[in-house]
Amino acid sequence: MARIYEDLTTVVKRSKLALYVLAALIILVLGFYWKIQVLDHQKYWRMAEANRLRELPLTAPRGLILDRQKVILADNTPSFKVSLVREAVVDYEKTIDNLALLLHLNREELKKRIDRYRSLPAYEPIIIMDNLKLEEVSLLEARKDEFPEIKLEVEPRRYYPFGPTGAHLLGYLQEVSVDEIRTQPEKSWRGGEMVGKSGLEKQYNDSLTGREGKILEMVDSLGRPRAEISRTEPQPGHNLELSIDLDLQKRAEELLQGREGAIVAMNPRTGECLVWASSPSYDPNRFISRFSTDEWLALVNDPGKPLENRVIRGLYSPGSTFKIVMALAGLNEGVINEYSTFFCSGAVSLYNKEFNCWFRPGHGNLNLPEAIRNSCNVYFYQLGRRLSIDTIAGYARLMGLGQKTGIDLPGEKEGLVPSSDWKRKFLGQAWFPGETISVAIGQGPLLVTPLQLAYLTSIVANRGLKVRPHLVKGLENSGSGERINLPEATIEKVIEGMWRSVNSQGTGQGAYQPGFEICGKTGSTQLISRETAERLVQRGQEVKKTHSWFTGFAPRHNPEIVVTVLVEFGGMGGQTAAPIAGQIFKAYREKYVRQANLQGN
């Protein structure tokens, strides 16, 4: 029988090829495992530990803010919050559905909140609800094993016991944004953390924040906590003791109730601010609860602008309070002396235009103290005609206008002092002499803040000594001790007119307080022309054509307090602002001066 031989060459070749491929795969697998076990040992060990151990932050209690008598203005209260740890989430959509149902939250709002922090590390907890009620805490505690991805914690929550009182001074906290976290990595902020966004809360945020603690806990494969490994307690932030007097602050805000305006009071010798009121106000407690976008927009778009800190951000023409600067400039330049007189018939024609005094019958012949006492426009028109706009601007800046005071609060505005250079630079036009006449009585393109006017008044009260205003007690006052280049005798002549304004039946008599020698100056900032006002009256419409100003100090010698009041659309300064200032002087005197006298006896 013939043998049949099969050719296995092809089979052998293919077998060898398969063997080589298999060997290569085995080598690759072994190499991969060697890399994991040897080269990347530390990396995967850390990842395994992270699955077993979880680090959670402990919020540090924020430093307290207190008034000068150590009454707490900004406190902390214990509060429960619930956070989501995304690395423990198995089914994202299901988790959102369950949490929205469990916590009675709007699903879309909850999803937006979580998505906002998608770019942050998954192990960082995202606060999804805070300020929980006891029944909500009980519900979460009862079902915590069903939701290993959520974390229930107690944290100190900011609380302002006096609500809107001093809100613009204190400021408010708001949730840090993702952009702030990215752009300011040195701050080490976490998603959902509350930080100072305005006022003292913002200015001293780093000092108030304190140092965060942490908990290291063991978790199981589902992310549920099983044991606490270690705990580092948080360190509270530093307290702030303010120069503000709560009693005076409350009184000031009562006097501004229902009005738009500002009151600031300070000690001219130290620069300590005693009152800081801006109206209308708002309740900073609202910001702590992370209110909705609609609530925020309603507050921002409120026509009364309750968030605006009018003391340092409201820009107004100073009206006749600017006559203090004009008087100092005229005396120091030798254009007038205290005996120089001008005749007021109720109007004067200058540069082919008639300029009116506020007192239509006219004041007659007046020297400087009487012109200040009666706030005679015609006298200061004549003075303005004899001084250039650049000379006036120089004295205005000398007295602190057109520049920040350096107060320890964010957002202060500089104001505006016009000059020929300013008009040429910004308007491309030359300055006309007729424009100086309006500036001479505090009108025209001249803008100040209430704090700047208080600062100016403190320089007058100190007979030329500049003391920078501040809010935190013990703050180093780098602006103290500098004296402006004006003789004390010159300033004293202006003070004489300010004293007469209040104590001798002048325009500031509404601020008069028996036995407390108040020196002051009223102002009325004209917002519409006299002709327009008269037309409105003829139509039977109510006319509110002026902002009302008063600024002054007391007592005349060794002054203790400066008070500046602005009431928007308040009418004449003597009718509205001066009486309000008088009540602040009265409250101060009753609390401090009489108390000191009793202790002395």
Question: Side-chain half-sphere of 314: how many Cα atoms within 13 Å?
Answer: 29
Q: Is the dihedral of CA 379, 385, 391, 394 positive or negative?
A: positive
pLDDT at position 536: 47
Segment 91-101 mean pLDDT: 82
Q: Dump pLDDT digits (tens) for 553-585.
A: 999 999 999 999 999 999 999 999 999 999 999
| CA distances, 78 to each of 62, 133, 158, 208 (Å) | 12, 12, 9, 17
How many other C-beta atoms can be found within 10 angstroms of the C-beta atom of residue 484? 17
Catalytic residue ranges: 320
- Residues 465-479 as b/e (b if ≥16 CB within 10 A, e otherwise) read bbbbbbbbeeeeeeb
- The pLDDT value recorded for residue 295 is 76
Identify the band that residue 79 occupies on the pLDDT scale cut at 50, 70 and 90. Answer: confident
User: Residue 399 is encoded by which pair of tokens?
Assistant: 């007295």
pLDDT at 459 over 70: yes
Does the structure show a pLDDT above 70 at 223?
no
Q: What is the pLDDT of residue 4?
A: 54
Q: Which domains does the chain have, with CATH numbers?
A: 54-241 (3.90.1310.10), 246-280+311-600 (3.40.710.10)
Question: Which pLDDT score is estimated for 245?
Answer: 98
- For position 594, what pLDDT does the model report? 66
Is the pLDDT at 395 greater than 60? The verdict is yes
User: What pLDDT sits at residue 463?
Assistant: 97
pTM over 0.95: no
pLDDT at 529 over 60: no
Per residue in 412-438, pLDDT tens? Answer: 999 999 999 999 999 999 999 999 999
Better-predicted residue by pLDDT, 232 or 72: 72
Say yes or no to pLDDT of 383 above 60: yes
Higher per-residue confidence, 14 vs 361: 361
pLDDT-derived band at 90, boundaries 50, 70, 90? confident
Residue 292 has pLDDT above 70, yes or no: no
Min mean pLDDT across 255-259, 353-357, 512-516, 536-540 is at 536-540
Question: What's residue 88's pLDDT?
Answer: 74
Mean pLDDT of 247-255: 98
Distance of CA 9 to the CA centre of its chain: 90
Higher pLDDT, 276 or 177: 276
Q: Compute CA distances 427 → 172, 197, 420, whole Å.
A: 38, 35, 10
Predicted pLDDT of residue 532: 47
Q: What is the SS3 assignment for 308-330? A: CCHHHHCCECCHHHHHHHHHHHH
Nearest alpha-carbon partner for 223 in 290, 123, 361? 123
Question: Quick one: average pLDDT of 147-165?
Answer: 87
For 133-139, what is the mean pLDDT?
A: 82
pLDDT attached to residue 538: 57
Question: Which pLDDT does position 119 carry in this prediction?
Answer: 73
> Could you give the CA distance from residue 20 to residue 25 in angstroms, rounded to a whole number?
9
CA dist 174 and 290 (Å) reads 7
Tens-digit pLDDT profile for residues 107-128? 888 888 778 777 777 777 777 7
Mean per-residue pLDDT over the chain, rounded:
87
> Of the segments 50-59, 345-354, 525-534, which one has the largest average pLDDT value?
345-354
> What local confidence, expressed as pLDDT, does residue 511 receive?
97
**Is residue 22's pLDDT more than 50?**
yes
pLDDT tens digits, 57-78: 777 889 999 999 999 999 999 8
Structure-model confidence comparison of residues 386 and 593, the more confident one? 386
Is the per-residue pLDDT at 172 higher than 50?
yes
Determine the average pLDDT of the residues in 345-363: 94
Q: Return the amino acid letter for 557.
A: H
Residue 34 — pLDDT band, cuts 50, 70, 90? confident
Note the helical H segments in 91-204: 92-103, 107-115, 134-142, 167-170, 178-183, 199-203
Highest mean pLDDT among 39-43, 158-162, 296-300, 544-548: 158-162
Asked whether the beta carbons of 276 and 264 are under 8 A apart, the reply is yes
Query: Which of 207-216, 246-255, 535-544 reaches the highest mean pLDDT?
Result: 246-255
Question: Is residue 100 scored above 50 in pLDDT?
Answer: yes
Rounded CA separation 385/366 (Å): 17
User: Whole-angstrom Cα distance, residue 214 to residue 148?
Assistant: 19
